[in-house]
Amino acid sequence: MNRAMRSVIYATLAVAGAMLPGLGLSQTNAPVADNAAPPLALVSTIDGAIGPATARQISTAIETAEERGADVLVLRIDTPGGLVTSTRDIVSDILASDIPVAGYVWPGGGHAASAGTYIVYATGIAAMAPGTNIGAATPVTMGGMPGTPQQPPGQEGKDGGGGSPSNEQALAKKSTNDAVALIVSLAETHGRNAEWAEAAVREGESVGAKMALELGAVELVASSLEDLLNQMDGREVLANGKPVTLSTAGARVEHLEPGFMTELLALISNPNVAFLLMMIGVYGIIFELSNPGSFGPGILGAICLLLGLYALNQLPLDHTGAALIVLGLVLMGVEAFTPTFGIAGFGGLIAFIFGAAILVDSDTPEFQLSWWTIAMTSLASAVLLIFLVGYTWRVMRRPVATGAEELQGAEARVLEWENGEGYVHVHGERWHARGPADLAPQSTVHIEKMDGLTLVVS
């Protein structure tokens, strides 16, 4: 075969290869689509008050969803409200997520009240299960918590006597306006009912799932997670400001459980637990300083104190309350090391009680110190102070047990005696003594005083 013939054959084969896709022979790759992995939907459940642990949980869930390239992250929400700082952190994380985030108020009977309303409005698609409700997002005057209704309409800016606005009312107005601006902005971002959102903040409005759907506060009402994923499929939502079309029908569902650090933070961020840890830490260190070398109480106390301070730092603290607690602990420490017969100790106890009562600046029960916790820690401190004062009083009244004062008035037995001096036996020791000239060995004498290293007896 000459070179010209080979060239013709090669050219013919090349043209045939180029025509194969058009002839339908490329359909051998078609089954690959059938074997493609189904969409991935990650689910994180929020149950309870919104706090630092919740913010950490959602932040971690979003990071995991982005790392794994999930098609959607579903936040199942059932909450009475939460801290405004944590809520804003969560809203910022959701808005900055590259993965679409869906908010699903679940289960039936659950609610997304207060802070939960802001979180649902921040998500790209909002849904509710039948029998749930959303709203009541009015911020409180103090405490940084969306959740407690403000003054009745028409009373803003008036004090109890109808005079000029008070500082507290001015702060309430600023807080409300700030909350309204946030939720209206979220509503406009995702095309939801901004008027109802404003009413939920200003008037404390709350609606059920069906009404929320009719008002345009949410996009979907879904009876189950599977129903939600099927209804979401094909919808266009915003993720980090970019439109994304959801592909969630038949998605593979994986639930994200909170990690150890999140669980630990959830435990210690309870104000009562944080407060008890701090108290254990303080008393452990006091015991270590009063009994150097024991190590155990000091190490345990230092760990508990650091954990307690870290947890309290995550909460909205009243600085006056914190200062009163520190003053109280210092005064009780002074009582332990420099007895003042209770003056410093009980003064510190009073400061401690007042400080504990106003320590956490929140009007929501989940983030307030329980009066039982305050009462029990105060009672324990009072018992310790009474013990210290009683012990100090007994020590002050106890006869001297060592030194020259202890020997004064004690009885001694004469061992040797001559010309008004000799040796006596007292407390198992042999002492040089002087006294009357006519003392006989084995006679009993009383010690009058100590002159240098010589006892004066009679």
For residues 305 and 281, the answer to whether their CB atoms sit within 8 Å is yes
For residues 118 and 183, the answer to whether their CB atoms sit within 8 Å is yes
Question: What span, in angstroms and rounded, lies between the C-alpha atoms of 433 and 230?
Answer: 106
For residues 162 and 151, the answer to whether their CB atoms sit within 8 Å is no
- Percent of the residues in the chain that have a pLDDT greater than 90, as a whole number: 38
Model confidence pLDDT, tens digit, residues 59-99: 999 999 999 999 999 999 999 998 888 999 999 999 999 99
Average pLDDT of the segment spanning 365-378: 82
Q: Report the chain's mean pLDDT, rounded to a whole number.
A: 81
pLDDT, position 146: 40
Q: Model confidence at 282, in pLDDT bands (50, 70, 90)?
A: confident
CATH node for 403-457:
2.40.50.140
Model confidence pLDDT, tens digit, residues 242-261: 999 999 999 999 999 998 98
pLDDT, position 403: 63
Higher-pLDDT residue of 367, 431: 431
Residues 6+ apart with CB under 8 A from 232: 72, 102, 125, 127, 220, 246, 248
**DSSP states of 6-66 as a string?**
HHHHHHHHHHHHHHTGGGTGGGGGTHHHHTSPPPEEEEEEEES-B-HHHHHHHHHHHHHHH
Torsion of the alpha carbons at 6, 9, 15 and 21, rounded to the nearest 10: -120
Q: Model confidence at 202, in pLDDT bands (50, 70, 90)?
A: very high
pLDDT, position 315: 80
Helix locations, 291-431, DSSP H: 296-313, 319-337, 343-357, 371-397, 403-407
Q: By C-alpha distance, which of 303, 344, 307 is closest to 327?
A: 344
Average pLDDT of the segment spanning 107-118: 95
Q: Model confidence at 406, in pLDDT bands (50, 70, 90)?
A: low
pTM of the model: 0.72
Domains 40-260 and 403-457 share a fold: no
The second-level CATH assignment, the architecture, of 40-260 is Alpha-Beta Complex (3.90)
pLDDT, position 388: 64
- Rounded (5°) CA angle 212-216-219: 85
Give residue 26's Cα distance to chain centre.
60
Average pLDDT of the segment spanning 273-277: 89
The residues spanned by each domain of the chain are: 40-260, 270-397, 403-457
Higher-pLDDT residue of 265, 389: 265
Question: What span, in angstroms and rounded, lies between the C-alpha atoms of 204 and 113?
Answer: 10
